[in-house]
Amino acid sequence: MRGFQLSLNQTQKLRLQRALEQLESLSSKSNSNASVAVADTIPVNYEDGVLKGHGTLDLDGEVVATLCGVVERVNKLVYIRTLRARYKPETGDIIVGRVTEIAPKRWRLDINFSQDAVLMLSSMNLPDGIQRRRTAVDELNMRSIFEENDIVCAEVRGFQHDGSLHLQARSQKYGKLERGQVLTISPYLVKRRKQHLHYLEEFGVDLILGCNGFIWVGEHVEAKGILIEDQTDKAEQLNTKSSSSTFMSLEEQERTYTSLETRQNICRIANAVRVLANLGFSVTVEVIKETVNLSSSLNLDIHEMLGSEFYVLVAEGEATRKSMFTKKKG
């Protein structure tokens, strides 16, 4: 099994195996033999005409896979849906990224793509929320908005002519993410949905499932307000920061204080994501919630979630859930 080494005892091993087998049997019913490895020939019906899509190559008239994955056919188009791979951006994807560099009028973000993505200062709503031309002052103050290593939530704007990937953050829901954890999982485990930003009220936690496999779990922030309200403070803060950055004012501490319960919730959710990702199960809000609930109902400590027993339980849960789902469908 990839990615993690579990010390399972004999029964756990058996249970896990059984659960996985169950999953396998469920899936093989739905799509059998669609998987291909590199250099496999993809059987196609040439009479219908073929449009070769992503991950395919023409070799002497044969369609050959260049990637490992699952063959998908949409009308004439044949392409390969990869599993483990770097993120492949699509316009409109909500992603979470990390600032790697501040360049003139732009930030560069690591979003698990083959290049860093670009977030232009101009495609960013200014803190004051006013639409205007960006001035030189704004440029100088860029660092007050995002610094290196800040976590940013944004949306894919599209590829530019030069082939670079541009992002935009023109909404209040995007922006800098603070007081939480970022988790990196393989992008194929995050499915594109309508909703990627979730507020889990019962935990007081924000969950962002970035399409690029960066998952944000952080303390809930009221989408509106903070940025505007604290705008003035921010400016002051800037000054204090520059003068005495090591000392945090009481006020600051209070403002950034996260309650223990919330922090625990963050960790619990984060661990749930870790377990699911390690098991290779797709990560959705529902499953995460279910996993968190499962851990709470078992009265497991947060750290115990990463123990082997919990892995087995999650796998078994996933198996029953899926089988119920297919039954329902059937």
Partner 1 sequence: MEFVSPEGLRLDGRRPMEMRQIRGEIGAVAKADGSAFFEMGNTKVIAAVYGPREVENRSQQISDQALVRCEYTMANFSTGDRMRKPKGDRRSTEISLVIRQTMEACILTHLMPRSQIDIFVQVLQADGGTRSACINAATLALADAGIPMRDLVTSCSAGYLNSTPLLDLNYVEDSAGGPDVTVGILPKLDKVTLLQMDAKLPMDIFENVMQLAIEGCKAIANYIREVLLENTKQLEYRRGP
Binding site for partner 1 (CB under 8 A): 1-4, 20, 23-24, 26-28, 30-31, 35-40, 55, 57, 59, 64, 66-70, 82-86, 100, 108, 110, 114-116, 163, 188-189, 279-282, 318, 322
Minimum separation from the CB atom of position 100 to partner 1 (A): 8
Choice between 70 and 223, CB closer to partner 1: 70
Task: Report the nearest approach of partner 1 to the CB of residue 193 (Å).
Answer: 14
- Identity at 302, one-letter amino acid code: I
Shortest Å, Cβ 131 to partner 1: 31
Of 329, 298, 330, 328, the C-alpha closest to 313 is: 298
Smaller CB separation from partner 1, 203 or 214: 214
Cβ at position 20, least distance to partner 1 in Å = 7
Task: Considering the complex, state which of residue 39 and residue 77 has its C-beta at the smaller distance from partner 1.
Answer: 39
Nearest CB to partner 1, comparing residues 188 and 203: 188
We find the least distance from the C-beta atom of residue 71 to partner 1, in angstroms, to be: 11
- Take residue 21 and report the two structure tokens written for it: 């087998």
Which pair of structure tokens corresponds to residue 19? 């659960």
C-alpha 46/C-alpha 24 separation (Å) is 31
Q: Enter the tokens of residue 131.
A: 């639409």
Least distance to partner 1 from the beta carbon of 66, Å?
4
Write down the residue that tokens 């073929």 correspond to: 50
125: tokens are 């709503």
Please say which residue, 32 or 243, places its beta carbon nearer to partner 1.
32
Q: Taking a C-beta distance cutoff of 8 angstroms, is the pair 99, 124 a contact? A: no
Q: Which of the 8 DSSP states describes residue 192?
A: P
Residue with tokens 């590199």: 38
Residue placing its CB nearer to partner 1 in the complex, 186 or 295:
186
Is there a contact between 198 and 288 (Cβ–Cβ < 8 Å)?
no
Of the two residues 25 and 244, which places its CB atom closer to partner 1 in the complex? 25
Phi, psi for residue 92 in degrees, rounded to 5: 95, -10
Taking the complex as a whole, the smallest distance from the CB of residue 8 to partner 1 amounts, in Å, to 17
Residues 122, 156, 213, 303, CA torsion sign: positive
- DSSP E strands, 66-147: 69-74, 77-82, 94-103, 106-110, 117-124
* Minimum distance of partner 1 from residue 81's CB (angstroms): 9
- Cβ closer to partner 1: 78 or 221? 78
Q: Radius of gyration (Cα) for the chain, nearest Å?
A: 23
Are 12 and 312 in contact by the 8 Å Cβ rule? The answer is: yes
